[in-house]
A and B are shown apart, each in its own frame.
Chain A
Amino acid sequence: MKSGKFWAWVVFIVGAAYFFIPLMATVEFSLRMRRGVHSFDAYQIVLGDARFQSTFLYSVVAAIFTIILGVLIVVPAAYWIRLRLPQLRPIVEFITLLPLVIPAIVIVFGYIRMYGSNSPLPFLGSNMGANALLVIGYATLALPYMYRAVDTGLRTIDVRTLTEAAQILGAGWGTIIGRVILPNVLIAVLSGAFLTFAIVIGEFTMASLLNRPAFGPYLQNIGANRAYEPAALAIIAFAITWGCMSLIQILSRFAPKSANRPN
């Protein structure tokens, strides 16, 4: 048992080194812009760049719309499958796993060819249409995570009883989903939302191929042309991802625990 503990420490320390050395080196590198001293110059330049602000804002707005679209699609479907159509569950689970199998670049390639400006549904014919298509593409990418989060949330509440209780009190379907089910799975939805945010904020492939002024293409541009700013951007991106994941962890503490779960 002692040697087991020794090897566990070895694995843990080697793993930690593999992950911490690049991060520490990146922090160090990002502070080196001014010769000879450590400074936050790279961060100042990046954060002060008007293109940083506009592209970041664009991606934040895209992420928010993605989350709204994802919730509108996933919550009713997951709820309805639990309540009325459990036989559809395998099909729906299969579909939600497809974005993990079909690469994002293939999906967006399909969009470009199917929804080009000469097609019956010319999403790419206008600026707003292209923005909408980007949000739609992001919602597909987020589908596996969103569905799983919501489905886990629904598992912890008694969907049938809540629905029947609401119906007895005279609630319509909109009221049931919006005011009974959604608040009960809100924490699960929010975890899915933050994960979506982390995925969408720096996404490059779709934004670049749909030619959108998003944060991902901006990152690529800076990476190709600058030395110290990319390191600063990497640290900022890491901090954003970390923030999203911490929020998910904090939220999961407030999640309701169902009686039939062991803990």
Chain B
Amino acid sequence: MTDLTLSNQALATRPAPPNEATAFRLPTQWIGVAPFFIFALMFLILPTIYLVVGAFQRSDGSFTLDNILQLLSDPSISSSYWASIKISFWSAIIGAFAGLAIAIAIVRGGLPNWTRSATLTFSGVASNFAGLPLAFAFLATLGRVGIVTTLLRDVLNINIYAMGFNFLTTSGLIAVYLFFQIPLMVVIIVPAIDGLKKEWGEAAATLGATQWQYWRMVVIPVIWPSFLGTVILLFANAFGAIATAYAFAGPALNIVPIKLYSQINGDVLHNPQLGYAIAFGMIVITGLANVFYIWFRTRSERWLK
């Protein structure tokens, strides 16, 4: 017993000089990552925290829940949240399934090789072709004097505007957002589908699985996490998008990012603290989406084991 404590003491005293050395070396250990962490703290994390804290404060700095409650009670704000959630949700879901269909078609559909490389190249471009130019392209196509609008009117005698078509509706914006959502899905999901080994299909067929069983029990479980992750990414992508919608209607369109934009520019809600609350609400929604993603993924990973 005494021996043990003695040897422990000996151990405790002996490594003292190396300890000093590591203590001395600690700053250099961190110096490589320091710029990254300082940058992230100053320009990503602290500004976000600043807004979150501001959402719970009155203009004199005292604590309040009024700003948050006003998000829910003010019909113009809550309706803008609903519009944004609807647009982001449906453009993410439709974009994800359409992108998946295209990805499966070019990877597994037995199409000639050029379709794959052409689609991937184009998707890389189109997924980054958003914002104002995208809106301009759609206005030139389906605007009131757009090429397709006039073609339909003059050739087929269909006036889409008389039929109630408008970019400034939920479905109009969804259709436009799909232009960058689908390619983004293709870019992200093609590697996942590439990851499906041919042997798995052969093994399933050897065991007598039908095509449907192969899809249900092999393909879907394998690509499910990346599919879900991309849906969340598409959702956040559409939820924060502002330039495309702004080009269609300026500040008139009632979606959250535009609401926040007008509030930052001119305090249209006559309460500076309310801007913080709107920003906080946006972070909560995209954050929640990510929590769902992590939850789903851990569940599906458990299934995969």
User: A-side interface residues toward B, CB under 8 Å?
Assistant: 1, 4-5, 7-9, 11-12, 15, 18-19, 21-23, 25-26, 28-30, 72-74, 76-77, 79-81, 83-85, 88, 92, 95, 98-107, 109-114, 136-137, 139-140, 143, 173, 195, 198-199, 202-205, 209, 216, 219-220, 223-224, 227, 230-231, 233-234, 237-238, 241-242, 244-246, 248-249
Given A100-B236, A223-B247: A195 and B146 within 8 A (CB)?
no
Q: Is the CB of A81 within 8 A of B33?
A: yes
> Can you list 10 contacts pairing A with B, beta carbon distance less than 8 Å?
A77-B37, A85-B33, A102-B240, A103-B236, A103-B282, A113-B47, A204-B132, A205-B257, A220-B132, A230-B139
Contact A84 B141 (CB under 8 A): no
Separation in Å of the A214 CB from the closest CB of chain B?
12
Question: CB within 8 A of B283: which of A8, A102, A238, A242?
Answer: A102
A88 partner residues in chain B, CB cutoff 8 A = 33
Complex contact B131–A195 (CB within 8 A): no
Contact present for B140 and A25 (CB under 8 Å): yes
Contacts of A233 in B (CB 8 A): 133, 136
Say whether chain B's binding surface is mostly helix, strand, loop, or mixed: helix
Known pairs A76-B33, A103-B240, A242-B125; list 20 more (Cβ under 8 Å): A5-B111, A12-B115, A19-B179, A25-B147, A72-B35, A74-B36, A77-B37, A80-B33, A81-B33, A98-B44, A100-B237, A107-B43, A109-B279, A204-B242, A205-B243, A205-B261, A233-B136, A234-B140, A237-B132, A238-B133
Instruction: Considering the complex, give the chain A residue whose CB is closest to the CB of B241.
Output: A103
How many residue pairs, one in A and one in B, have C-beta atoms under 8 Å apart?
251
- Residue pair A198, B128 in contact (C-beta under 8 Å): yes
Are B121 and A245 neighbours in the complex by a CB distance under 8 Å?
yes
The count of residues in chain B whose C-beta lies closer than 8 Å to any C-beta of chain A is: 79
Q: Check B200 for interface membership: any CB of A closer than 8 A.
A: no
